[in-house]
Every structure is written in structure tokens, then in C-alpha cells.
Amino acid sequence: MAISEEVLSWQDRARRVAWGIRKRVLEHTIASNGGYLSQACSSAEILATLYIKVMKLGPSQAPMLPPPFPGVPGKDNPHYFTGAGYNGPKAPDLDRFFLSPAHYALALYATLIEVGRMAPEGLAMFNKDGSSVEMIGAEHSPGMEVTCGSLGQTLSQAAGIALARKLHGETGRVWVFMSDGEFQSGQTWEAMQVLPFYNLDNVGVYVDVNGQQCDGKMEDVMRIEPLRSRAEAFGARVFQVDGHDVNALAAPAEMPTDGRPLVILAYTNPCQGIGLLEARRPRLHYVRFKDEEERAKYAAVLAKM
């Protein structure tokens, strides 16, 4: 494996990471009888492409094994840290990453393991008391930097960070991973309004358009389509791509910026790679097996991965 890594194309490495994300999250879901599995299935190629190809990051600055929860931020707590260190150092020319839907934390942790930024044992700390590897990722969780469990706030925070970086003359970009459900929230559109107003073309947004939310199919819960024309109408430069095609995902990020925020709508399948999930539609938000028989079926799928 070490030999082949050297000669693999970035595309093959990204596909391998994506496969690893699905496998680790499935494994975790079976072991703990529950997990955000469909999110991993839909976002695996997006996260893999971001970490393997799109983002310009330095090596991880954080311990391979995530340290325990350091206590909440406050003037009397000098020990607080964020999980940003897993994405490398902060430097003017380096990119920054912001995971907006914190429910995707499990997929992000799996990604960090697959790209060598976190120890595989770190996943065992998921949702354990006293751990920083929280279920709904918080800003001290590996790979995270802002508080985003209340959905729809990260794009605004990233916009503020992007403006600050421009004012400081930094060239690094600000990448935001979002879920399509967040486009039901008013604040998202407030942020979509402010980004082009201040020409924040250092912001790039990858949206996992998997069409699913907690209550089921987004089309039935609250429609957001046509997302492309809506986003374009707000002044974004929008690309609509197959969210499982690593080339298509990476291409827009290669283009020279043009003053507009970049939005990549990645249309995905929340059951991608694990066909068994199809039977659970339309309720895919959090997978908990209804009995041992179902769990065994998934274990059989894992055994073949």
C-alpha cells in the first residue's frame, strides 16, 4: 500500500479516501448501533476531494490522538483549543476549512483518519463522556474551528473570516462545507447576500445536495430548488456537479477567482456505496438498526468492503 500511494493519481487517492470514509463510518455505525451513515455516503467524495486535491493545507499541528475536552472557552480557561490544528497551521497563504453541518462530524473524523491527520483510535472516542470527539462536532472537535451545531451560522462566520483575511492581505482561501438543508435557513441567504457585496471570492462553498433532511425527503419537507438559479440570483458563481465525480468536484476550484463567491452544488446520493440504505428511504438522517437481523445485513456489507 505504501508503494502504490506514491504512484497513484490524486483521483485514485481521493476515491480510495472516499471508500475509506464510508467503510469507517459503516463500521462505527454497526459497532455503536447508530450513526450518521447516509451523510458519510453522500459526502465522501466531496470531503476526500477537498482534502486530497482542493485545499492547500499544511501538515496537522494537533496530536494524532484527540485530547480530552478542555472545558468551554472563557477568560478563565487558558487551556481551550479548537480542532483547527488538524487542518494544519494558520498561515497567510494556506487555506482554512469550515464544516458547517456539525452532524457530519463523524464523516469528517473518518476523513481525517483516511488522510493521516488523526489516529484511527480517535474514532473510538466518538461521543464518549469527556471527549473532544463530539457527536455533533463542536469547535474543539478534530477538524473543526467554529461552533456550528445550530445550523446556518458557519457561512456568516466564514464570511467574516474571509473579509478579515482580505483586509490582512492573506491569499489563502476559506472553504465551507454545507448541507443543502441549510438553504432553508434565512441566515444562509443573508450570508449569500453579504459575500458578493464585499467581493469575497476567497470563499468557496461545497454543498452536499443529497436531498435529505431529518424529517425525510427535502422535496416533501421544504423545497429549496432551483438552488442553482437562486444562488446565482444572489450573485454567486455556481457550478452544479455530480458529487461523486472527483474530477467534476475539483475542477471549479482550479479556475481563477473572479470577484464572486464560488458555490459548488454537489448533487449526491445518500445511499451511494451502501445500496442497502435504499430500503430505509425516506428516513436516512440517523441510522439506527431496528433489530439484530438488520445489523447483521450491514455487517455482511462491511465484510465485503
Binding site for other proteins (CB under 8 A): 72-75, 139, 146-150, 153-154, 156-165, 167-168, 186-187, 190-191, 193-194, 197-198
At closest approach, how far in Å is the CB of 120 from other proteins?
Answer: 29
Complex with other proteins: residue 154 or 213, whichever CB lies closer: 154
- Does residue 90 contact residue 61 with C-beta atoms inside 8 Å? no
Minimum CB distance to other proteins smaller for 4 or for 150: 150
Measured from the CB atom, the residue of 160 and 282 that comes closer to other proteins is 160
**Least gap, CB of 66 to other proteins (angstroms):** 19
Of 44 and 138, CB closest to other proteins: 138
Q: By the 8 A CB rule, do 246 and 48 touch? A: yes
- In 3-state terms, what secondary structure has residue 35? strand
Judged by beta carbon, residue 162 or residue 265, the one nearer other proteins is: 162
Taking each helix axis from N to C terminus, what angle separates 246-254 and 37-49, rounded to the nearest 10 degrees?
50
Sheet holding 203-209, edge to edge: 96-99, 174-179, 203-209, 262-267, 237-242
Residue 3 or 72: the one with the smaller Cβ distance to other proteins is 72
CA angle, 262 as apex, 18 and 87 as ends, to 5°?
A: 45
Strands 212-213 and 216-217: what pairing? antiparallel
CB of 242 to other proteins, least distance (A): 31
Question: Which residues have C-beta within 8 Å of that of residue 298, sequence separation ≥ 6?
Answer: 26, 29, 30, 274, 276, 289
Distance in Å, CB of 140 to other proteins, minimum: 10
Q: Across the chain, how many H-helices and E-strands are there?
A: 10, 7
Q: How far is the CB of 260 from other proteins (least distance, A)?
A: 18
What stretch of H or E contains 13? helix 10-31
Least distance in angstroms from the C-beta of 75 to other proteins: 4
